Structure 1
């Protein structure tokens, strides 16, 4: 199942596809999920942590959340409706994953946009 994630403004931002790959709402591969919690760029650099439907950057700031999130959120914006799924791109080759990110704890909203977080055009 593919789960939509929303940004701090309640806008759909990206999907978690096949349980291990992040895809933008425009159908671009963004990054990887490893060990169910570690978030990496497409090139294998650790950038964040996913737990209970809440995606955090390395300092604990919230980048996005699923509608079904059960982890702490400082506020819940009004959420847009989930659009139809984009054309899902093929799986890129998995890189070697360098390092890891430990649970950064609860924070407020990240100052990073989804685009800045993943370091790629969405």
Structure 2
């Protein structure tokens, strides 16, 4: 089962498929989870950090979150219902990961949308 991640407005935005790949609600590959917490783009560029169901940008701003991540959020928006699981696309080739990402710490909400964060259409 894939758990939904919501954006700062409480809209279901993406799932973590197969434990290492972010997939949008429209069935598009968005990025990779590396070493359990480091988040990278599809091309291997460092983007942020995932911990306790909270996706943070490199400045510590919250980009997305799981429904169960409540205590780790700056505020909890009203949330939409979770849609059915999206069509999971085939796995793209895994890139070499450029550098590493460290825990940026906690911040408020990021000013980046999901699309801006991953740098791809969602």
Does the alignment pair 1:84 with 2:72? no
Q: Conserved in 2, the CA contact under 8 Å of 1:28 and 1:89?
A: yes
CA distance in 2, matches of 1:85, 1:119: 22
The match for 1:52 is: 52
CA distance in 2, matches of 1:29, 1:102: 23
Query: Secondary structure, in 3 states, of the residue corresponding to 1:93?
Result: coil
CA offset at residue 103 of structure 1?
0.4
Question: Which structure has more helix as a fraction of its residues?
Answer: 2
CA offset at residue 72 of structure 1?
1.6
CA offsets 1:53-77 (integer angstroms, 9 cap, x no match): 0000000000000012265211000
Sort the Cα spacing of 1:5 and 1:112 in 2 relative to 1 into closer, same or farther, 3 A: same
Unaligned 5+ runs, structure 1: none
71-80 or 18-27: bigger deviation: 71-80
The match for 1:97 is: 97
Unaligned 5+ runs, structure 2: none
Q: Which runs of 4+ in 1 moved over 6 A?
A: none
CA distance in 1, matches of 2:99, 2:3: 26
CA distance in 2, matches of 1:43, 1:70: 31
CA distance in 1, matches of 2:93, 2:120: 17
CA offset at residue 9 of structure 1?
0.4
67-76 or 42-51: bigger deviation: 67-76
Cα RMSD over matched residues? 0.9
Q: Conserved in 1, the CA contact under 8 Å of 2:48 and 2:101?
A: yes
Q: Conserved in 2, the CA contact under 8 Å of 1:8 and 1:109?
A: yes
Figure out how many residues of one structure are paired with residues of the other and give that number.
122
The match for 1:117 is: 117
